[in-house]
Structure 1
Amino acid sequence: MKQEIRDLFNESILTETAERYGVLKDQVHFLKDAENYVYEFEKDNRPYILRITHTIRRQPDYIMGELEWLNYLADHGLNVSRAVPSAKGNLIESIPADIGQFLAVAYEKAPGNIVGEEDWNESFFQTWGQYVGRMHSLTKEYRLSHPAYKRQEWYEEDQLHLRRYVPPDQTQVFKKADQLMKRIHQLPKSRDSYGLVHTDLHQGNLHWHEGRITAFDFDDIGYNWFMNDIAIILYNVQWFPTVPYEDKAEFVRHFFTHFVLGYRKENDLDPWWDQHIPDFLRLRHMLLYGLFHQFMDLDHLQDEEAKMLRQYRHDIENEIPVVRLDFTKIREI
């Protein structure tokens, strides 16, 4: 989180926010403060999640673009953590600060828990794929109620603009990044391949309960290719698997095989897109490289941080595949 936001946040902001939702500050329990302040509270014996951000990071119309799509999915039968109104009936509450405003949103808390080792198996992978397929199928019919609510396109992601954050002498990084961006810009877009998607639906952003998935954390939704939405999941499961693996390529092959079996029950995505997964994985690698440079103190790096940045730089400059796997042959197995 930006330090300028931390400097503006205080107990009176939290007290006022809690009152807007009909509870006391002492009933609101802190969870985390990575990009937003996130809390949990209970009202009328039901649990809710409270997210607080600042206009430095998000504007009300942009947040409405998230909430409108989220509740559209909920209204059409997808299990998501629906946004709920405040005591005054507002989906977004604005709390004045010394500079700008803090913006608060409450959500139903997803039932269940993060998926555990006992459920990390083919059945879960297929259920996950079916869930994402249903989300992509629904988004094809979604229409904005107001142009001001439009979310960003894939190339507008801040961290993809590496020259803003990466040292200017890394010219080979910029060259490879530019080439990758150019290739991806040339990909076709259609109703059946591109739309508003979650863009971060890793296993940490969903709960598993009685064989059902409920997704949350829609803060980063944007317009992207459906296959890139899937590739982001592939990127995360191979870096942060719930159950460790010995062979990365074999694990990703196994996961993707079962994920696609589930996905195709709800949405028909042309297998032609499989050939572009390696570039989408590189794109995620590149975005994280920009993110690390944005938030790390480059003058005081820990040894592990410096090592990680060197590895990312090497991978980008040499176009090293994130995973050595021919995705075009997986569906034939």
Structure 2
Amino acid sequence: MELFIEKVFTSEVLFDTAKRFQVVPEEKPLGDFENFVFKARRSNGEIRILRFTHSSHRSIEEIEQEMSFLDYLGENGAPVAKPHRSINQEFVEPYQTENGVFYASLFDYAPGTRVTAEDPEFWNDELFKEWGKTIGQLHKLTKNYPHTPHRLDWEKDEEMYIDYLPNHTLKALAYEIVDSIKKLPKTNDTYGLIHSDVHLGNFHVQNGNITIFDFDDLMYQYFIHDLAIVLYYSLLGSNMEEEEKTLFARHQLSCLREGYESQHILDECWYEHLHLFLRLRDISLCGVIYKKFEGKDMPDNYAQIIESIEERLRNRQPIVKL
């Protein structure tokens, strides 16, 4: 979270807004990367997630659209953490500060637990198939969702992150990737409103079933992007050798496709474009990290990620060669 946002997020913001949703939040956030996220409880003990988004990150219209889309997905059987209304019957509650507005939203707490690549109980072919199937369900439903002007097409989002890249060379390489993707055809079967960030940190698993949350990055994007995200974050920070990475990614993709294609089919040519979307995620993550630590010291682990990304960008290489 940017420094100026941290300075205006107070306990008063947290607890006063929580009352509007009739929950009591924990004081320590579960996350604070782009939003402040808290575990909270209702009077009957049920767990909810209370999220605060600063107006510099999203407009109220963008967040309301996220809530509406989530509500639509949940009502149509998608395994997502559904939103809840406040005592004012609003999905989004604003809190004005001396430097911008915080927008609060409440969600179900996804059942189950997070998965790590080090957990053999979960990190297996069955998870990969279910992961693909769940993404396919979302894509099948988004095809029938009315277009909204309140969620951006992906290139607008990327341009914002490219602005945070530290030099002209990296920015030029980034726009090279963006321009290549912009040439790809858009149809209702290949492009729509998608989660765009379905990595390990954004779903829980219970009894083999996945529940997805954190639709903050909801945008119009090519469907293949959601599958690229799975591959990308499954390998980010991996110590595997290049050949081992390639073999793993190919196997994981075959499992993902098996699950995904039980819900939705993409033409084979889209899998040939995966390398572009893997490189695109390098741009996004690099920009997000520079944005987050603007005016602050960058921790070593993030600096190492930045170093690897910038090397790949300069070499025009994705995180894995398929």
Same-fold status (TM-score > 0.5):
yes
1:50 aligns with 50
What one-letter code is carried by the residue in structure 2 that aligns with 1:127?
E
Per-residue CA deviations over 1:39-84 (Å, capped at 9, x if unaligned) read: 1112123210000122222211110111111111100001110000
User: Are 2:101 and 1:101 aligned?
Assistant: yes
2:60 aligns with 60
Please give the alpha-carbon distance, in whole angstroms, between the structure 1 residues aligned to 2:303 and 2:209. 40
1:189 aligns with 186
Per-residue CA deviations over 1:152-192 (Å, capped at 9, x if unaligned) read: 11101156652x22334x43x33322222211110000000
Q: Which has the larger radius of gyration?
A: 1
**Paired residues for 1:89-128 under 5 Å:** 89-115=89-115, 116-128=119-131
1:38 aligns with 37
How far the C-alpha of 1:262 sits from its partner, in A, is: 0.8
Per-residue CA deviations over 1:214-262 (Å, capped at 9, x if unaligned) read: 0001111100000012111111112257xx7561111111110111011
1:175 aligns with 172
Please give the alpha-carbon distance, in whole angstroms, between the structure 2 residues aligned to 1:139 and 1:23. 31
How far the C-alpha of 1:305 sits from its partner, in A, is: 5.3
Residue among 249, 256, 261 paired with 1:259: 256
| Preserved CA contact (<8 Å) 1:50 1:104 | yes
Q: 1:178 to 1:84 in 2, by over 3 A?
A: same
| Preserved CA contact (<8 Å) 1:245 1:251 | no
| Preserved CA contact (<8 Å) 2:96 2:102 | yes
Residue among 234, 246, 258 paired with 1:237: 234
Please give the alpha-carbon distance, in whole angstroms, between the structure 2 residues aligned to 1:33 and 1:314. 27
User: What is the root-mean-square deviation of aligned Cα atoms in Å?
Assistant: 2.3
Partner SS, residue 312 of structure 1: helix
Per-residue CA deviations over 1:14-61 (Å, capped at 9, x if unaligned) read: 221121122456x66632222111111121232100001222222111
User: Are 2:267 and 1:284 aligned?
Assistant: no
2:202 aligns with 205
Q: 1:318 to 1:209 in 2, by over 3 A?
A: same
How far the C-alpha of 1:13 sits from its partner, in A, is: 1.3
Q: 1:11 to 1:206 in 2, by over 3 A?
A: same
TM-score by length of 2: 0.90
1:143 aligns with 146
> Which contiguous aligned blocks of 4+ residues in structure 1 show a shift greater than 6 angstroms?
none
Question: Structure 1: which 5+ runs fail to align?
Answer: 326-333
Please give the alpha-carbon distance, in whole angstroms, between the structure 1 residues aligned to 2:129 and 2:272. 21
Per-residue CA deviations over 1:92-121 (Å, capped at 9, x if unaligned) read: 111222233221100011111112431211
How far the C-alpha of 1:9 sits from its partner, in A, is: 1.4
Please give the alpha-carbon distance, in whole angstroms, between the structure 2 residues aligned to 1:300 and 1:89. 41
Query: Which stretch shows the higher mean deviation, 198-207 or 115-124?
Result: 115-124
Q: 1:24 to 1:235 in 2, by over 3 A?
A: closer
| Preserved CA contact (<8 Å) 2:35 2:52 | yes
Please give the alpha-carbon distance, in whole angstroms, between the structure 1 residues aligned to 2:84 and 2:152. 24
Q: State, as a whole percentage, how many aligned pairs show the same letter.
A: 34
Question: Structure 2: which 5+ runs fail to align?
Answer: none
Q: 1:273 to 1:307 in 2, by over 3 A?
A: same
Please give the alpha-carbon distance, in whole angstroms, between the structure 2 residues aligned to 1:286 and 1:105. 28
